[in-house]
Structure 1
């Protein structure tokens, strides 16, 4: 769990550093646009260029940062109005230009944030879809391995039961088992137990073809000795 906390802190530091860098670019851009606005006539809608600052702010992962930048740009639009030369421009034109600049800033802000939220949502849905597909593949693989294991167990126990059938016939015929049959029964039992133990102690799953084109587990493969340790 400590590793996850470390990665969360690292991601938070990266986001904070990214926001600081974006903030510096926004500040420099806004200052440059303000200087241009102060040098141009009120008849020119220089405040529209603050849209550039809003677009730069979208590089920050925080929505509140973009809204704060849009608010700051709105203040700069009116600050530019106070410092721009009149140059014989009628006041209603100046007010209209400022209003249109502010409108452009906020329309850009709202639409950009909505688009980014939509893209993020689509990205999250895609990740969830991929995760669902991956989980489905894992479940299918587990089911496949379970079926292969059950077929292998069925094959092992089936051979054992087939051998028991011959011993049963001998018991029915003579009401007992001969010493040779007893020895063979013990051997068959030990072999069946050994095969089941091999299947249970596998370190790697390898498939093999069985009768009827069925897929089983290859348990006749070398396994690691659990009693040995690496030096």
Structure 2
């Protein structure tokens, strides 16, 4: 009988130990503030590509005027117009978020301050379309000739693409901001948080400037 009582006591102790461990884990999980969970889950998304756009510039080429390899046309020369296409993308690296990036207000609203949105030009995607070629007896430039001219003007082309990209930057960041907010919404809902998303000050200012210029 005493042995039976000992086994029963041991069994009860084991059950109590498991119950205590389960309760401790539950309490530990419940003790993690929703704001901290928001930070962890947002950081886990890491660097996101949020928007892309094509950047177009038109390059005018007149071999007779430029004297490219001595090409001259029987009846003068006529310019060739080439459209150069380059792609740009907008990214936001949420792994850069810190505890200071998330501020909980007294009314339970949470302010989330985003890192700067990065706009990157994808140089490898640069290609060209011929919009206009010489006609009649004027000889057309070959593909190799066009490629050589484009390569010789790369510095000028980079400047034109950069300028064109600056004109698109505001719209690109605005699209990226909307996309990012949509990606974060499931996290907000799961944590039952009311979150106000704030862009980096420079990004917000750029969007506002682009809106004003469009009006």
TM-score, normalised via structure 2 length: 0.27
Structure with the higher fraction of residues in strand conformation: 2
| Higher radius of gyration, 1 or 2 | 1
Q: Which has the higher helix share?
A: 1
